[in-house]
Homo-oligomer: A and B are copies of this chain.
Amino acid sequence: MVYQPGEPYDYPLIIKKLLNTPLIYSPEQEIVYRDQVRFTYRDLRGRIGRLGSVLQGLGVTQGDVVAVMDYDSHRFLECFFGVPMTGAVLQMVNWRLSLEQMVYTVNHARARVLMVNTDFLPLLEAMRPRLETVESVVLMQEGESRLSPSFPIAGDYDGLLEGGDPEHGFPDLDEDTVATTFYTTGTTGNPKGVSFTHRQLVLHTLSGAVAVGAYDSVGRFRSGDVYMPLTPMFHVHAWGMPYLATLLGVKQVYPGKYEPAMLLKLIVGEKVTFSHCVPTILQMITANPAVASFDLSHWKVVIGGARLPRGLAEDAWKMGIKAYAGFGMSETCPLISLGMPGADWESLDRDTLMDTVVKTGRPVPLAEVEVVDEVGRFLPHDGVSTGELVFRAPWLTQGYVADEERSTELWRDGWLYSGDVGVIDGDGYIQITDRMKDVIKTGGEWISSLDLENILSRHEAVLESAAIGVPHEKWGERPMMIVHLKPEYVGAVGPEDLKAYLKGAAEKGDIPRYGVPDAFEFVDDIPKTSVGKLDKKRMRSAFG
């Protein structure tokens, strides 16, 4: 671009600019993939350049969609930057979806290029004939697997990068250019596409960095930390944390396929200090007997995607793991709030500390959170007025891609309607009590299924539980608990024990008396959605 004398540079908030600082502050810092790959930020910039020139060679132009199906890897990180930096859109494909849904999302996004980890080749074989827009497939070689696909491919990711240009320059883009897209699965209808612009991702990164960096708290994440995601990178940009980690120039460790032994090896061996995951993953780690022999006292973990059960938080903290909750949604990029105790957390008694870390948090800088009644009136922040949570922030999706009807449900009166039910207390803490579609209403009163689940999580015999509402002639609905017992308690603990435990909680005032469930169902596994959330729709149809 040619500038006239006196013409200022109109600085766009684009992803390319997030690389400015780390390349100056920590060019020699490391990016690690399992026990296989290790390179520096300087190399990262070179690899992103190569990727840009490869995409150009594949004919990718501004606005084209490049879909990626991969584990959490350095390659995915390169795509987080390289794809949007060319002006193309990165589609993060959720490979836990059904084949049907995966095909739907890639076609709906109109992806022209698909990059796929070779571990997913069998899946891709089944998908390929049904992909309507994909012109080029690039394989990302995982380990030694050497399956040859039956369809033509554009090349191997690393091979193509070798032929790319590390000095490849990236254009300045309009900051409102779409950078990323992915699909969120409701329990009804087709997956819904959301998208985020460069500006939104840059602001999400800056606000996140202020939240975890500039506020003193147990949950700090700063330039001296070592980062490893434990949320799939297809899941809301791994919560946006790879962008944040890169801005801060920290050492980054990518674990590939989640295998408990490898995860532990990396956490300990690479001295990981900051991660994020859903409760299930944390539970997988705390429940692993091998963990006891490791020192995890430097590990901070943000828990999101589902409520952090108090019992699990206690188990984690007993091991020295500083686990605390955050909140966000696919529609919100995702960061909305963090449940960090303040700078004085070390002086809090354990009970207060646990109460704080499991809270869904307080809004990060710039984010605005309100709770509204059925007609959209703001309710007081008093810790008791329950309603739907609504949000504003500079990084919320502007609607569902090509889905006017559901977008109309999402944005009302200039607020994003979360579909979550909760309260806000006098200190600004958000507490989510239910999903709108999962609320249990008995005798005209709401019961918080999350309260029931949280209380039961502290019973020594309970590994996990889910509360659902089942139809009842007199009361409309009554709560029922679906319970996964710890193996050693199966047969030893029955419905009456759990009911008595919850009655005790009702007597202490933790839940209303009418909230004590009548029915308990024991299962070997709680049904989950593809991103690890409780699948209450399936439970209601199975047990309701």
Contact = CB atoms under 8 A, between A and B. Distances in A.
Interface in A384-435: 392-394, 396-399, 404, 407-408, 410-416, 427-428
B428 A25 contact: yes
Interface in A1-33: 1, 3, 5-9, 11, 13, 17-18, 20-21, 24-25
Instruction: Give this chain's copy count.
Output: 2
Contacts of A315: none
A368 interface: yes
Contacts of A203: 13, 206
Interface in A196-235: 203, 206-207, 209-210, 212-216, 221-224
Interface residues of A, number: 59
A9 to B, nearest CB: 4
A363 interface: yes
Given A6-B410, A399-B6, A412-B5, A365 B214 contact: no
Contact of A6 (B213, B367, B411): B411
B21 A411 contact: no
A248 interface: yes
Contacts of A75: none
Contacts of A404: 6
B362 A24 contact: yes
Contact of A248 (B6, B214, B398, B408): B214
B366 A428 contact: no
A365 B416 contact: no
A236 interface: no
Contact of A214 (B210, B397, B415): B210
A20 B367 contact: yes
A247 interface: yes
A206 B414 contact: no
B8 A396 contact: yes
Nearest to A406: B6
A37 interface: no
A20 B215 contact: no
Nearest to A223: B215
Contact of A5 (B11, B216, B248, B411): B411
B214 A209 contact: yes
Given A209-B214, A212-B214, A343-B224, A411 B365 contact: no
A392 B14 CA distance: 14
A248 to B, nearest CB: 6
Which 9 pairs between the two chains have the least Cβ-Cβ distance? A213-B214, A24-B428, A3-B414, A6-B408, A11-B394, A9-B414, A8-B398, A206-B206, A213-B213
Given A206-B206, A215-B248, 16 more contacts: A5-B411, A6-B399, A7-B414, A9-B411, A11-B392, A20-B368, A21-B363, A24-B427, A25-B342, A206-B207, A210-B247, A213-B213, A214-B223, A215-B222, A216-B223, A223-B343
27 contacts: A6-B404, A6-B407, A8-B396, A8-B414, A8-B416, A9-B392, A9-B411, A9-B416, A11-B366, A11-B394, A11-B396, A13-B203, A13-B394, A21-B363, A21-B365, A24-B428, A25-B215, A25-B362, A206-B206, A210-B247, A212-B214, A214-B214, A214-B223, A214-B248, A215-B222, A216-B222, A216-B223
